Structure 1
Amino acid sequence: MRSDNTISENVASLGPALEWLKNALNERLRVHFGQAESFELQPLNFYAENSWLARFIAEHNPCFEEFTVLMLAIVPQLQPGFFSKIIAEHFPEGGDFPEFGGVKASNHRGILPTGETAQFILAGDNLIQRLEVQRILSGEHWFAQKSILWLEPVREGEPIMSGRLILEPEIVEQLTIGAISKPRFSLDFPAEYIDTEMDWDDLVLHPNTLRQIHEVENWINHNDTLLHDWGMKKKIKPGYRALFYGPPGTGKTLTATLLGKHTGRDVFRIDLSRVVSKYIGETEKNLSRLFDKAENKNWILFFDEADALFGKRTDIRDAHDKYANQEVAYLLQRIENYNGLVILASNKRANIDDAFIRRFQSIIHFPMPRLEERHKIWAQTFPSQIKIAEDIDWQHVAARYELTGAGILNVVHYCSVELLASQSSTLDLKRLEFAIQREFVKEGKII
C-alpha cells in the first residue's frame, strides 16, 4: 500500500535523524560537563530521498540550527523518554538541571523541550549564539511565518524562551505518517468537510449561472500562474471571494462541493451558529482560529446562510451595535487576507452588507429552475431501476409544479423508498403526485 511505503520512507529518514540529534545532545553535554572542548554538528546527509523530511529540506533548505530545532520539536511525538534517558547517562545522581530547560506536561511523562532547550544544545553559554536561536524562534522567522513551529506563549514576567516548542500538528503528521488528517468539527474548528459523489452533469443550472461558476473554476486552476509566473502578486490580492444567492435548494452547496472536487480542493462548510457569540470578542476569536487553520491550505470555505454573520451593519445606538460592527470589520479583513476561495451563500443578495458586496469578485445568482431545467432534472434523477408509467409526462409535470432541484430530489427519494417497500418497480402518476403534494406541504406551499 502507498501509505505503508510512505511510512517506511519517513522512518528511513527519522531513525537516522534521531540518532543525529542524540549525538548532538551528547556532544553538548560532554562540553557542558568538561569532557570535551568544542561542540560541532554533523552534516545532514541521512534522509531518504522520497521521504517527507527530504521534501521539507529541499523546499525550505534549513540550516543546521533550524533543523535541530525542528527535530527537538518532533522528538516527544516519537520517543517520549528521549531526553530523560540521555540526561540520566550524564547526570546519574539526578538533581536540578536548569540550563537544559524543558517542562513537564499533565499527560506526557517525559521532558517537553523549550526554547531554552534549543539554546542549551545549540549555543551552550555563548550569548551571541543563544540570541541567534531566539531569532529562529521569533515571530519574524519563516518557522512562525509559515505556521510550522513556534514558541508557546508564557505567563507575563516569565522568560520568553521558557515556552514549549510547538510543532504544527499537520507537520507532525507529514513527518510521521506522510498524510494530513482532515480537521474534525470542534469548538476550535467550527466547520465540517463536505464532499459529493455527484458530478457537473448531475447539476442542472441556468446557463448564466453555470458560466459564472466556470469563471470561478478558472480562477482556482490558474491563480498561481497569474500571481507568480505572470508577476501579478504585487498588484492583486491572492484570494477570491464569491457570493452565491438564491432560494434554498437551488444548488449553492452542491456547486461549492463540485468546485472543490474538480479542482482538488477540500471544501469546509462553516457552522455559523458555532462562530457567532453573544459575548464580546468571542466571535472574532472563533473566526481567527478558523482562518488560522485554513491559511495556506488551499481550502474552499463555504459560509452557508451567511446573513447571520455577513448581514447589514447597524447604526451605532449602543455598545452591542458597536461591537457587532467591529465583528463585521474584522471579518472583512480576514476574508480579504485569506489566500483561498471564500464562498458566501445567502437566500437574498439584499441581505448582505454593501461593504461585502464591493469585495466580491463574483456575485452569482441561483434562480428557481425554469421549465426546461425542471424537465431535465425530472428526466435524469430517478434511478434506472424504476420504470416510469406511460401516464407520466415529464414536460407536463415540470410545467405544473415549480420545485427546486432539492425539492425534486426529495420527491424522487420518497418515491424510490415507497416503491422498494411495496416491492414494485413502476412509478405511476398517482404515487408521483402524492409525493409532490407531500413536498409542497412540507415547504408550506399551496399547489
Structure 2
Amino acid sequence: MKDLLEFKYLEEYLQYRLESYFNGKSNTIEPEIPAYSKWFIHVPEVIKQANLNKSEKTLLLLTLCPQIDGSLLDRVIQDKLASTGDFPQIGGVRGKNFRGFLPTGETALFLLAGKKFEKRLEVYNYFASNHFFGHNQLLWLEDAPEGEPIMSGKLVMSPEYVEMFLLGEISKPTFSMKFPAQLIETEMEWEDLVLNAETSAQIQELKAWTLHGDVLLYDWGMHKKLKPGYRVLLHGPSGTGKTLTASLLGKYTGKDVYKIDLSMVVSKFIGETEKNLANLLSKAEKTEGILFFDEADALFGKRTNVRDAHDKYANQEVSYLLQRIENYTGLVILSSNLKSNIDDAFVRRFQAIIHFPFPSFSERLEIWKKAFPKKVRLDKQVDLSQLAQKYELVGAEIMNIVQYACLRALADQKKTIISRYLIDGIQREFKKGGRIMR
C-alpha cells in the first residue's frame, strides 16, 4: 500500500486516533489527507465537484478500504489491541466469506468524532438520505440487527462506485434476478427502418432528447421546470418496428438499451413487484441506459374498480410504478400493441406517444425491396409490388418470409429466390397468425 497515498493516510490517521485515545494527547501530528490528484484510485468527477470535507473523504476511504486492502484495518487495530485487549468502541464486524475487519458506523464515529457529541451528530448526518452519499447512492449503513444500535450496521459502498474507483468505469450489468433486463443491440441502420413520415419525425425528436437532454436541463437551466428523464409510449401492431426503433436509438446515441423481462419483475406476492422494479431502476440509473418495456401492459395496465383488498393493492402498485418511472433520469420506452391498454395516469405523463401503424402498400413494398441479401437474385416471375399489394404483412413477418425463402434456396443449392419459396413462406406466416390466405 506504499504507493497508495490515500490509504497510507487512512492507516496513519487510524494509528493517530488510536494513539490519541489510549495515551491522551498524541505526540504525533494529525496527518493531512492528500489532494485528489495524488490519489491512486480513480476519483469520479461527481465526487471531485462535491466539495467533500476531510471527514467525508476519510469516511469514503474507510468504506472502500476492505475492497482495496482487506488486511489494512486488521493490521493497525490488532497491533494496538495486542497490548490493550478488547476495544468495542471501534466497532467492526466479520463477514461470512471475508474474514477481515469490516468497518461499521461505530468505526466511523470513533475515527471521525471520538467522544465529541456535536461531531458524532455530524457523522450521523453523513448517512442521511439527503446527504451527497445517500442522494448518489454512493455509500450507506446496512440495517443493524433488530434491537441493536443503528451505527452497528456495516458500512457499504455501491458496487458500481467500487468499480468506478478501481477500474475507472462501471461494467455493464448482467442479466440476473436483481437486474432482469437484457442488453439489446442491432446491426441494422436507420435506413433499414421503414416508417411513415409522421412516425419518423417523432422518432427524431426522441433522438434529439437523448443526445441533448442534459444540455436542456442543466446548461439551459430547465431542470427547475421540467422533471428528469423522458417517457415515451410506442404503440401499434406487433412487428411494426418498435423494438428495432429502441435498438437504433441506443446505437446512434451511444446508449445501452435494456429490454426488461417483465416475467421477472411482476410478482403475485404483495410488495415484490415494487421491490423488483426499485432494484432494476436503481441499477439502471447508474448505467444511464435506455429502458425498454416491451408488452408493457403487464406492468402498466389500467387500474380496476376496487372490489376487494387485492384490487386496492393492485391499484396502489400501479401508482407506485407511476411515481418510480417518473423519477427515472433516463429515457424510458414503453411498448404496447394497444394504447388503450395503458393506464391513463401513465399516458398523461408521457412526453411523447408514437403510433406505429400497420404499414401501407408503399411501405410494405419498400420493406420487401430492402429485405433480401445482396448475394441472392430474384427470379423474373417474382413481383414484389404484387406481393406488397396482395398480402398485408408487417415488417417482422416479411423478414420471416425472406429468411424462410433464403433457407429453401440454400437447401436447393440455389442463389435465386423463386416465387414458390415466397408463397410458401407467406402461407406459413398466415397460419401462424390464424389467418386464411387468399
1:313-343 C-alpha deviation (Å, 9 max, x unpaired):
1111111110111111111111222222111
Q: Does 1:284 align with 2:268?
A: no
Distance 2:14 2:37 in 1: 19
1:150 equivalent among 113, 118, 140: 140
Verify: 1:373 aligned to 2:363, yes or no: yes
Q: Of 153, 161, 170, which aligns to 1:171?
A: 161
Q: 8 Å contact 1:204–1:376 — kept in the other structure?
A: yes
Q: 1:137 offset after TM fit, Å? A: 2.2
Structure 2 counterpart of 1:434, from 418, 424, 434: 424
Aligned to 1:96: 86
The alpha-carbon distance between structure 1 residues 444 and 45, as it changes in their structure 2 partners (threshold 3 A), is: same
Contact 2:285 2:328 in 1 (8 A): yes
Matching of residue 21 in structure 1 with residue 28 in structure 2: no
Say what the alpha-carbon RMSD is for the aligned residues.
2.1
1:31 to 20, 27, 43: 20
The equivalent position to 2:172 in structure 1, one of 158, 182, 186, is 182
Letter in 2 for 1:53: V
8 Å CA contact 1:299–1:340 kept in 2: the answer is: yes
- Give yes or no for contact 1:296–1:339 (8 Å, CA) kept in 2: no
TM score, norm. by length of structure 1? 0.92
Contact 1:248 1:347 in 2 (8 A): yes
**What residue is the counterpart of 2:328 in the other structure?**
338
Measured in 1, the distance between the counterparts of 2:307 and 2:122 equals: 51
CA distance in 2, matches of 1:151, 1:355: 35
Instruction: Report deviation, 1:229.
Output: 2.6
Q: 1:132 to 1:50 in 2, by over 3 A?
A: closer
SS of residue paired to 2:231? strand
Corresponding residue of 1:404: 394
Could you list the per-position Cα deviations for residues 287-327 of structure 1 after superposition, in whole angstroms to 9, with x for gaps in the alignment?
22222223364322111111112111111111111011111
Q: 1:219-251 CA deviation, whole Å, 9 max, x = no partner? A: 222222222232222222122111111111111
In structure 1, the partner of 2:414 is 424
Q: Following TM superposition, by how much is the alpha carbon of 1:95 offset from its aligned partner in structure 2, in angstroms? A: 4.1
Residue among 241, 245, 259 paired with 1:251: 241
**Corresponding position of 1:196:** 186
Q: Which runs of 5+ in 1 are unaligned?
A: 1-10
**Matched letter for residue 369 of structure 2:** A
Does the 8 Å CA contact 1:48/1:54 hold for their aligned counterparts?
no
- The CA distance in 2 between the partners of 1:253 and 1:343, in whole Å, is 10
> CA separation in 1, counterparts of 2:398 and 2:328?
36
The residue type equivalent to 1:40 in the other structure is E
Separation of aligned partners in 2, 1:276 and 1:237: 26
Per-residue deviation at 1:377?
1.2
**Unaligned regions of 5+ residues in structure 2, if any?**
none
Provide closer, same or farther for how the CA distance between residues 54 and 37 of structure 1 changes in structure 2, counting only shifts above 3 A: farther
Contact 2:36 2:43 in 1 (8 A): no
- Partner Cα separation in structure 1 for residue 28 and residue 41 of structure 2: 32
User: 1:146-175 deviations in whole A, cap 9, x for unaligned?
Assistant: 111111111332111111111111101011
Provide closer, same or farther for how the CA distance between residues 46 and 297 of structure 1 changes in structure 2, counting only shifts above 3 A.
Answer: closer
Letter in structure 1 aligned against 2:236: G
Secondary structure (helix, strand or coil) at the match of 2:101 reads: coil
Residues paired across the two proteins, number? 436
Q: 1:208 aligns with which of 198, 206, 221?
A: 198
SS at match of 1:179: coil
Q: Of 338, 342, 347, which aligns to 1:352? A: 342
TM-superposed CA distance for 1:359, in Å, is 1.3
**Contact (CA 8 Å) 2:5, 2:34: kept in 1 or not?**
no
Q: For 1:157, what is the secondary structure of its paired residue?
A: coil
Match of 1:262 in 2: 252
